[in-house]
A and B are shown apart, each in its own frame.
Chain A
């Protein structure tokens, strides 16, 4: 085993993990099974007799051990926020750092975000209410706001945490040592809309190689955190109704924005059809110095596209169901508010934390809302977490609601994700369910199950070898492979004093 410890990924070689008790998660346990890896992918999984091991393959004997897929954490803040760093370095994790956007301070309260009130006249502009531009009295606005103004500071859908992700962070080493090979990492919950999530492997050569899904969702948050952060500064939101109103307002603005683009596409198509039909002179008319009409189409000038707004673009993806909203909510009342708004705008969303979902099962079940449950390990730090219990995942499983278990790392350290699953098993979840809730189901909820979450031919070769049953707290992680590369070995990953 000393050879090739930096893995076989990229050299096209084979690696066979043999004789282990294999938990594929997608199927029944295989006693003395073989997991065959070719390069960075799983080539075959089966009983010893079913899987041929090519000559020259590196063989890892897992006799007496357990082999399972790399663990998947569907909600954490690893490596986008450096715990322990000072405020100048760290990125957002809103419980500690509000990440408040100062760009929008001129827009507080929205008195400024109203249409210019000029009336009369025959221009169709006067017939409709349109968001004011840079001349609005609040004085905000600028590049990238598409003339609509920036959203207030508690709503930053354009903050993309891909750019905050540090692939070299020590936090990822703890994840690997805990057998966690894929994470959905994201901004915190200190704002109503905090930003864009990403899904990444926990080890790899570069950020580009590691990140497997981006954008992975837009993080939003209900309940106490945003209230506390902004309310204490005399800013909105200071109440739950303020949170709901701000999210609605942002989504309505995005609908307005979407409508402008749809109108533009329509006019453009009409204009192009007209040009193609040879109608109305040269298309170069816009260059003659005449004032440009944003409407276009009515004459020989091509219609101008509306200005782009990156905040709106992220939310339009949510409205079109191209991107899920991932919404922090603990208490049943907050979850019901999320559900009302979700129904109102027809968006796809997951419930993050989902602490009291067991109290409104029917509402969650009939809408088929995935639930990311946790962090349950640890104290009840806030009033909104009073209802938390490790029974929740088992209840959700029993009702057929898609769920997974989260540490919310670093709220609970990432290496205890498996311990959380063990405790959920203890409180009533099935054995298979508790294992799936940190592998296949979390991969499905994070929308990366085509690549990770189970041991199946064709998936990424993310494999963990454990000393015993996955749900035994005493079982330790002995080896971890990511994309076919061995990234952890309990024997060689010792501190000097341990040797």
Chain B
């Protein structure tokens, strides 16, 4: 039993509840009670006094390459893209992810406790994503939802990747935007026909036909069939306005569940996004504006949220390192996004978009005890995460962590307390 008492606790609506107590047991949240309700803290419970501090649910970065783009391991640690074939829906990021990636440890130190791991954008169908906690001993323990969706890239990257691969590789490649869409549709049509054959086979069997051969299994087709049946959404990375429109129209035509990612020019097709009902994983916003990002605005997440679009803010790690998720959100607030909207965009909204809100995304009874205690407001740049819990287990404690300042002081290199906001 763990009690985090007297903190300013984030509510699912994005506001803070003062002097509240979060009770945790068996890896789950038992209750969240305000000061007035007078939570009874059971004897023997470990008590963390969060007076003057902020208590948030573990943050969720809706789409990153954490674990598959290993920090510090150079090119051999990159497992994000298979550029040999633009149609690679059978790939699964869980097979590529490294649970000891340094980025996951960084994430815990900044309160990020879950992310969806997506392939890169080099393929039109890039593979199947999965949602994982950022702490755990093996991916089998850490995976929350696998597969969680299909990565689709309607960007210039597949065309560039195929050009590069051409030097030693295949004679197939998308050459322009129209061919991207043609390849995308051809793959869906193949899967649709396979589904129809399967249905005919079932009918024939039901009608008493015998000795019918069983169809071959094909993992690519199976993955696409899951999209056609609505079993998982497509997460489409699109930047330019017409790429975003293409994603919306194709998803509608083929009956696919759609989540838009990045959306640099989302504000230029706001009506279409609004009308489609698609959620948007926006950002990262604090990036260099290469060609297709030239219209990217720091106002994008706020504009989407105000238009009623369900929006999550993301770092697209390693584009921006995963632990700077709050920096992205704070920047969006600076540019006009409501504070509550920005907080929801890194907690409950990504949980809902990824279909894991039953377990995470807010501090509510019954959810996983993924909790972090912040020294100050999460959008204050001086704030440090002091404690992080995943499934009720303490996975980060700033007080006992190796502190470069202590070391520097001990070495006589500096005086204590030079760092603002520390201890």
Instruction: Please indicate the chain B residues that have their CB under 8 angstroms from the CB of A256 in the complex.
Output: 216-217
B164 lies within 8 A of chain A by Cβ: yes
Q: Are A111 and B139 in contact (CB under 8 A)?
A: no
Minimal beta-carbon separation of A99 from chain B (angstroms) = 17
Q: Are B168 and A124 in contact (CB under 8 A)?
A: no
Q: Which of B180-203 contact A (CB under 8 A)?
A: 190, 193-194, 196-198, 200-201
Q: Are B87 and A242 in contact (CB under 8 A)?
A: no
Number of A-B contacts (CB under 8 A): 180
Q: Are B138 and A360 in contact (CB under 8 A)?
A: yes
Binds B, one of A179-187, A316-324, A332-340, A347-355: A332-340
Least CB separation from A236: chain B residue: B84
Q: Are A128 and B169 in contact (CB under 8 A)?
A: no
A408 lies within 8 A of chain B by Cβ: no
Least CB separation from B140: chain A residue: A336
Least CB separation from B201: chain A residue: A127
Instruction: From known contacts A129-B194, A234-B168, infer whether A241 and B93 are also in contact, taking CB-CB under 8 Å.
Output: yes
Minimal beta-carbon separation of A273 from chain B (angstroms) = 14
Binds A, one of B207-215, B280-288, B328-336, B388-396: B207-215
Q: Are B91 and A333 in contact (CB under 8 A)?
A: no
Least CB separation from A267: chain B residue: B211
Q: Which of A413-461 contact B (CB under 8 A)?
A: none
Q: Are A129 and B221 in contact (CB under 8 A)?
A: yes
Least CB separation from A253: chain B residue: B216
Q: Are A244 and B216 in contact (CB under 8 A)?
A: no
Instruction: Please indicate the chain B residues that have their CB under 8 angstroms from the CB of A340 in the complex.
Output: 94-95, 140
Instruction: From known contacts A267-B211, A336-B139, A383-B77, infer whether A234 and B219 are also in contact, taking CB-CB under 8 Å.
Output: no
B79 lies within 8 A of chain A by Cβ: yes
Instruction: Please indicate the chain A residues that have their CB under 8 angstroms from the CB of B170 in the complex.
Output: 108-109, 234
Query: Measured between alpha carbons, how far is A343 from B84 in the docked complex, in Å?
Result: 28
Which bucket holds chain B's interface residue count?
35 or more
**Residue from B79, B214, B216 in contact with A239 in the complex, judged by beta carbons closer than 8 Å:** B79
Q: Are B214 and A236 in contact (CB under 8 A)?
A: no
Where chain A touches its partner, the secondary structure class is helix
Least CB separation from B183: chain A residue: A111
Query: Measured between alpha carbons, how far is A259 from B201 in the docked complex, in Å?
Result: 17
A238 lies within 8 A of chain B by Cβ: yes
Which bucket holds chain A's interface residue count?
35 or more
**Residue from A128, A228, A239, A359 in contact with B96 in the complex, judged by beta carbons closer than 8 Å:** A239
Instruction: Please indicate the chain A residues that have their CB under 8 angstroms from the CB of B82 in the complex.
Output: 236-239, 241-242, 245
Instruction: Please indicate the chain B residues that have their CB under 8 angstroms from the CB of A360 in the complex.
Output: 137-138
Instruction: From known contacts A124-B212, A298-B211, infer whether A363 and B140 are also in contact, taking CB-CB under 8 Å.
Output: yes
Residue in B100, B138, B216 whose Cβ sees the most chain A Cβ within 10 Å: B216
Residue in B83, B95, B119, B198 whose Cβ sees the most chain A Cβ within 10 Å: B95
B269 lies within 8 A of chain A by Cβ: no
Chain B window 152-182, contacts with chain A (Cβ cutoff 8 Å), 1 for yes, 0 for no:
0000000000001111111010000000000
**Residue from A234, A240, A242, A249 in contact with B169 in the complex, judged by beta carbons closer than 8 Å:** A234
Residue in B80, B165, B196, B213 whose Cβ sees the most chain A Cβ within 10 Å: B213
A295 lies within 8 A of chain B by Cβ: yes
Minimal beta-carbon separation of A202 from chain B (angstroms) = 34
Instruction: Please indicate the chain B residues that have their CB under 8 angstroms from the CB of A131 in the complex.
Output: 216
Instruction: Please indicate the chain A residues that have their CB under 8 angstroms from the CB of B90 in the complex.
Output: 245, 248-249
**Residue from B83, B96, B140, B190 in contact with A240 in the complex, judged by beta carbons closer than 8 Å:** B96
Instruction: Please indicate the chain A residues that have their CB under 8 angstroms from the CB of B74 in the complex.
Output: 383
Q: Are B85 and A110 in contact (CB under 8 A)?
A: yes
Minimal beta-carbon separation of B104 from chain A (angstroms) = 12
Minimal beta-carbon separation of A299 from chain B (angstroms) = 12
Instruction: Please indicate the chain A residues that have their CB under 8 angstroms from the CB of B139 in the complex.
Output: 333, 336
Query: Measured between alpha carbons, how far is A35 from B19 in the docked complex, in Å?
Result: 81
A224 lies within 8 A of chain B by Cβ: yes
**Closest 4 pairs (CB-CB, A-B):** A109-B85, A244-B95, A234-B169, A234-B165
**Residues in B lying within 8 Å of A, measured CB to CB:** 68, 70, 73-74, 76-85, 87-88, 90-100, 119, 127, 137-140, 164-170, 172, 190, 193-194, 196-198, 200-201, 204, 209, 211-221
For the complex with contacts A119-B196, A227-B79, A241-B94, 9 further pairs of A-B residues with Cβ separation under 8 Å are A128-B216, A241-B92, A242-B82, A242-B84, A259-B216, A333-B99, A337-B95, A339-B140, A383-B70
**Residues in A lying within 8 Å of B, measured CB to CB:** 108-111, 114-115, 117, 119, 124, 126-131, 224, 227-228, 230, 232-245, 248-249, 252-253, 255-256, 259-260, 263, 267, 295, 297-298, 331-333, 336-337, 339-340, 359-360, 363, 382-383
